[in-house]
Every structure is written in structure tokens, then in C-alpha cells.
Amino acid sequence: MFPKGTKRKFSDSGEEAACGGGDQGPSAAPAPFAAAARTLSSSYSLQRQSLLDMSLIKLQLCHMLVEPNLCRSVLIANTVRQIQEEMTQDGTWQIMTQALAAAQCPADRLVATEVLCRQTEAAAAAAAAVQAGQSPKPFSVSGLEEGYHSEEVVIDGDAEAEVAMSSLSPVSPQLSSASYLAGPFGMGPCWEDDEEDADCDEDEEEDSEECASEGEDGERHHLRADSRTGEQVFGTFEIKHPAPPPDPALEELFSDVDPSYYDLDTVLTGMQSTPKMGPYDLLESLSSHGPTALSSSATCRSDLNELDHIMEIIVGS
């Protein structure tokens, strides 16, 4: 049902297409989204989407650092801007979002916007799941939210650092969510609410353990603001309350789609391991688990255990 290989192909065939605009490639899209499919099925769009995903992950990792390489961050952010601009121009977003809007109930909006930050198949899967009356938990959590929060930890109480960080902080929220507010749903205020809520959280974020759950926390606020009905459903994702076991069928679905993220993450974090990060290594190692950990509550807990273990070591030493 879902083209497992599409993202993996990226590093190979992606080059020609992204650089030269080649048009061959796998065409695959879920049937219900035929309109969007036409645009998305071209390998160019897929590769552009992959490039966007990759860039967003890179940016997210940048945010984990106290002092990211500014030149690199700026160049990546500009790339994201460029892709976004182009996608807005060729109407990819509109087709996508309209297709999703037509197919879903209001509670799916969030999932729909998720499409903008994540790979489309995943979002489609999540959306389809919702439609079928299942909870779309794994994919509703945006990695960028997580990045944004961890970053605030860094900002804490330092004016200069704040300046430095704010250089990057706006980039991801703006690009991942805020900039899409112009879309047909007009859900701007919800996202802004989220930001305020996030600010309130700042104090508790001192502890890196807290940070682990930040993604969820942010998400929770987010949802509360977004839809009343969603609150109950998504409330269960809070890390403190074990979520019900995910639907096996659903999990299978995601396991089909998600692995590209594992790969990319491993690659990226492996690469990112600079010796200078110091106290924030922890954050980064957490972040590397971010998307995967959030994809099921079980992994989430095991990650927490891991964190506990790390904390023990730190405190012990």
C-alpha cells in the first residue's frame, strides 16, 4: 500500500532529480488522495519532500546545540524557505490540504498539518487511521515541537545566548507550522496558543528528564488548544499515563513507513557528534530517539528508562 522504498531511493536517484529535475521514479500514492497524488507521485515532489524532511531534521538537531554552526544553520534554513516557497507556488500544499480536508473530520486538522512537516505517506496513513476511528498517536507528535522546546532550555536566563538562539528558534516553528497558517484551515490562533503554553513550561524544563517528555507536553497543549475533542484522545499520550497498546494493524502500517526516519536519524546523529557539545549531549542523544521513541508509548518508556540510567551515571559520577 505504501511505497516503502521511495524515501530510501532518495540518496541515489534523488540527486539527479533534485539537481536536474529528472522525472522518472516510483509513482505511488494512496488512492483516496488522487488529486494530491498526481502532484506528489512525480519523483521530483517526493524528493523535494524528502529534502524538506531532511532539512527540518537537520535544523532540529541544530537547535539542540547551544551554539550551532550559524553558517550551516542559516544555509539549511534558507533551503527550507526555498522549498516551502516553491511548494506554495506550485500549489502542492493546497491540493494536499484540500484533499485531506475533504476526507477528514475536524480533529484531523492537526494530522493534516503534520503532513507539512513529515512525509506525506505517513500523514496520509495517520489520517486514514483517524478516519477509521483509531487514534493517530504516533504521527501526531511533531519532532519540530520537540526541538523547539529543548531549545528553550538553552535560552534560559541568558540574554546573549537568547539572541544567538533566537536566530534559529523562529525558523522551525515558522516554517513548519506558522507559515502554513495561510492554508485553508485558518488555525493560526491554535498554534500561537501553543507557543504561549510552551513558554509557561519553560521553568520545568531545567531538568533534562523533563525535556524528554517535552515533545508530548507541547503536543498536548497544542491539541488542547486545537480541538476540544482531541484533548481526550491525545491526553493519553502524556508520558505519565501509559497509553493503550497501539493497534497492531496501525503499528504495522507505521512500521512500513517510518524506518526511513530511523535511518536518517542515525545518520544525522552519528554525523552530528561533535566533541564540543558537553552538557547537551544528553539532549541530543535524546533527540535522536525522538521520532522513534514517540512512535509508540512502549519505546517511549524504554527511553525514559534509558534516561534514568544516564542520569544515574551522571549523578553517580
Partner 1 sequence: MEEESDTRKINNSFLRDHNYATEADIISTVEFNSTGELLATGDKGGRVVVFQREQESKTQPHRRGEYNVYSTFQSHEPEFDYLKSLEIEEKINKIKWLPQQNAAYFLLSTNDKTVKLWKISERDKRPEGYNLKDEDGRFRDPSTITTLRVPVLQPMDLMVEATARRVFSNAHTYHINSISVNSDLQTFISTDDLRVNLWNLEITDRSFNIVDIKPANMEELTEVITSAEFHPQQCHTFAYSSSKGSIRLCDMRQAALCDKHCKYFEEPEDPSTRSFFSEIISSISDVKFSHNGRYLMTRDYLTVKVWDLQMENKPLETYQVHDYLRGKLCSLYENDCIFDKFECVWNGSDSVIMTGSYNNFFRMFDRNTKRDVTLEASRENSKPRAILKPRKVCVGGKRRKDEISVDSLDFSKKILHTTWHPHENIIAVAATNNLYIFQDKVN
Spacing of C-alpha 52 from chain mean position: 11
If one asks whether residue 275 binds partner 1 (CB under 8 A), the answer comes out as: yes
If one asks whether residue 278 binds partner 1 (CB under 8 A), the answer comes out as: yes
- Of 32-40, 90-98, 190-198, 272-280, which part binds partner 1 (CB under 8 A)? 272-280
If one asks whether residue 302 binds partner 1 (CB under 8 A), the answer comes out as: no
Residue in 2, 4, 18, 256 binding partner 1, rule: CB under 8 A: 18
If one asks whether residue 256 binds partner 1 (CB under 8 A), the answer comes out as: no
The CB-of-123 to partner 1 minimum distance in angstroms stands at 22
If one asks whether residue 75 binds partner 1 (CB under 8 A), the answer comes out as: yes
If one asks whether residue 93 binds partner 1 (CB under 8 A), the answer comes out as: no
Residue in 166, 266, 302, 305 binding partner 1, rule: CB under 8 A: 166
If one asks whether residue 229 binds partner 1 (CB under 8 A), the answer comes out as: no
If one asks whether residue 304 binds partner 1 (CB under 8 A), the answer comes out as: no
The CB-of-87 to partner 1 minimum distance in angstroms stands at 11
Residues that bind partner 1 (CB under 8 A): 10-11, 14-16, 18-20, 47-48, 51, 54, 66-67, 69-72, 74-75, 77-79, 81-83, 154, 158, 160-161, 163-164, 166-168, 170-171, 174, 264, 267, 271, 275-279
